[in-house]
Amino acid sequence: MSVEFTFNIKKIPFNEDYTPSDSTRLTTNFANLARGEHRQENLRNVLRMIDNRFNSLAHWDNPNGDRYSVGVDIISAEMTIKSEGKNECFPLIEVLNTSIFDRKDDKRIPGIVGNNFSSYVRDYDFSVLLLNHNKDLSEFRTPERFGDLHGNLFKCFINSECYKAHFRKMPVICLSVSSNRTYYRTRNHHPVLGVEYEQREFSLTDQYFGKMGMKVRYFMPENASAPLAFYFFGDLLSDYSNMELISTISTMESFQKIYRPEIYNSNSPAADCYQPSLKHQDHSVTRIVYDREERSQLAIAQGRFTEESFIKPYQDVLEQWSAQYSV
């Protein structure tokens, strides 16, 4: 049984008028913020946070701290599966694409694609497959070939003509560090990314992104509370400009302050030897309404949707394709 994948990309501006589409993965940070009675206020506040953080980092030739504004587009990648004479479409991933508007020079500067990372198959892997696999085990284990299919689907997408037609550089994903690992401050300091941290053992998320072909480094930008995890291809420090990196930091640090204030809105910065904790009490909360418990429940629901509509119907052909896939 043969299978062929083709991809299609849709772009939606993330602004104060944003409303999640029916196909949007509702567990994403931006979709969660854009629902409920406070939706427009939430969106205005997070966009203001992003702009303020960008200007604080891009402070040169910016005496009033208002030279730049960050534009954010939600990029939805759909995959069409062609198998046995049938064509079926399935939502694959959602990421963000940033751009920077320079008010002084009246021009728009390209940012970075990636930033946030949302995936239906990832929901299935972590919220269905992993939970079921460990249900009756006394010691946590990952299933055999855990993350292989998702990683190969992602690599297939970013190497597709569709991706190359829309984006000039490879993606950079910026996520929270793991609360299950300890991070150690190094002497390495980047002018934009800040001080680098290292750890001695990759987290499950690090390993999962490794299956996607991505490397990881951890940096804590100036005036931040905690390091961020940057997943990338190639060379993070030389492949991207300072402005591109600042657009990612300002966007994702703002989301993390809302999503994980115990870590990213802590009232004291990470120490030289640092273990993040979601139980940390000495933190501030933003004025933005966010439902973390609902987000977790939606991840399970959408993982089950993926299982029923994608994994089970195509399991044999997907496993065969993934085992033979090479970039």
Best CA proximity match to 172, nearest among 130, 108, 219: 219
Residue-wise pLDDT for 227-269, tens only, equals: 999 999 999 999 999 999 999 999 999 999 988 999 999 999 9
Q: Once rounded to an integer, what is the mean pLDDT over residues 38-48?
A: 83
- Sign of the CA dihedral running 203, 211, 26, 301: negative
pLDDT above 70 as % of the chain: 91
pLDDT above 90 as % of the chain: 71
The answer, yes or no, to whether residue 114 has pLDDT greater than 50, is yes
The answer, yes or no, to whether residue 185 has pLDDT greater than 90, is yes
Q: Given this model, what pLDDT does residue 187 score?
A: 97
CB within 8 A of 114, min separation 6: which ones?
95, 96, 171, 172, 173, 174, 231, 248
Q: Given this model, what pLDDT does residue 2 score?
A: 72
**Token couple for 120:** 């239906």
Q: Once rounded to an integer, what is the mean pLDDT over residues 215-221?
A: 98
CA geometry: angle 222, 233, 110, nearest 5 deg: 65
Q: Once rounded to an integer, what is the mean pLDDT over residues 5-27?
A: 75
The answer, yes or no, to whether residue 30 has pLDDT greater than 60, is no
The answer, yes or no, to whether residue 193 has pLDDT greater than 90, is yes
Q: Given this model, what pLDDT does residue 26 score?
A: 45
| Sequence ranges of the domains in the chain | 4-324
Residue-wise pLDDT for 132-184, tens only, equals: 999 888 888 999 999 999 999 999 999 999 999 999 999 999 999 999 999 99
Q: How many CB atoms lie within 10 A of CB 314?
A: 17
Q: Given this model, what pLDDT does residue 229 score?
A: 98
